Amino acid sequence: MDARTVEALMHKADLALYRAKAAGRGTFSFYDETLDKQLEERRDLISEMRVAIGGEQFRLHYQPQYSSDGKTLNGYEALLRWTHPTLGPLTPDKFIPLAEDTGLIDPLGRWVLRAACTQAALWPSDLSVAVNLSAAQFRHGDLVEIVARTLDATGLPAHRLELEITESLLMSNTEQVTQALSRLVAMGVRIAMDDFGTGYSSMAYLWRFPFDKLKIDRAFTENLDTDPKVGLIVRSIIALSHSLDIRVSAEGVEKAEQLKVLRKHRCDEVQGYLLGRPVPDDQLVHLGAAEAPDGIVQAQSTAGVEPDSM
Ligand code: C2E
Ligand code: CA
Ligand code: CA
Residue spans of the domains in the chain: they are: 61-298
Q: Is the minimum distance from the CB of 134 to ligand 1 under 6 angstroms?
A: yes
Query: Which one-letter DSSP state was computed for residue 24?
Result: -
Length reported for the chain:
310
Query: Which one-letter DSSP state was computed for residue 142?
Result: -
CATH of 61-298, one of 3.20.20.450, 3.90.380.10, 3.60.70.12, 3.40.50.1000: 3.20.20.450
Q: Is the minimum distance from the CB of 154 to ligand 1 under 6 angstroms?
A: no
pLDDT in the model for residue 300 = 41
Residue 202: count of CB within 10 angstroms of its CB: 18
pLDDT of 267 over the 90 cut: yes
pTM of the model: 0.88
**pLDDT tens column, 152-196:** 999 999 999 999 999 888 887 678 888 999 999 999 999 999 999
pLDDT of 293 over the 80 cut: no
Could you give the CA distance from residue 129 to residue 116 in angstroms, rounded to a whole number? 7
165 CA to middle of ligand 2, Å? 8
pLDDT of 299 over the 70 cut: no
Q: What is the largest CA-CA distance in the chain?
A: 72
Mutate to test the pocket of ligand 1, among 100, 111, 132, 161 (most ligand atoms within 8 A of CB): 132
* 3-state SS class at 228: helix
- Using a CB cutoff of 5 Å, list residues around ligand 3, an ion: 194-195, 251
Query: Which one-letter DSSP state was computed for residue 57?
Result: T
Q: Is the minimum distance from the CB of 303 to ligand 1 under 6 angstroms?
A: no
Query: Which one-letter DSSP state was computed for residue 212?
Result: S
Determine what percent of the chain falls in helix, strand and coil, rounding each to the nearest 5: 50, 15, 35
Query: Could you give phi then psi for residue 78, rounded to 5 degrees?
Result: -85, 125
In this structure, which residue's CA is closest to atom 25 in ligand 1?
79
Please classify residue 37 by burial: count the beta carbons closer than 10 Å to its beta carbon, then call 0-12 exposed, 13-18 middle and 19+ buried. exposed
Could you give the CA distance from residue 54 to residue 33 in angstroms, rounded to a whole number? 34
pLDDT over 90 percentage in the chain? 65
Specify the amino acid at residue 211. F
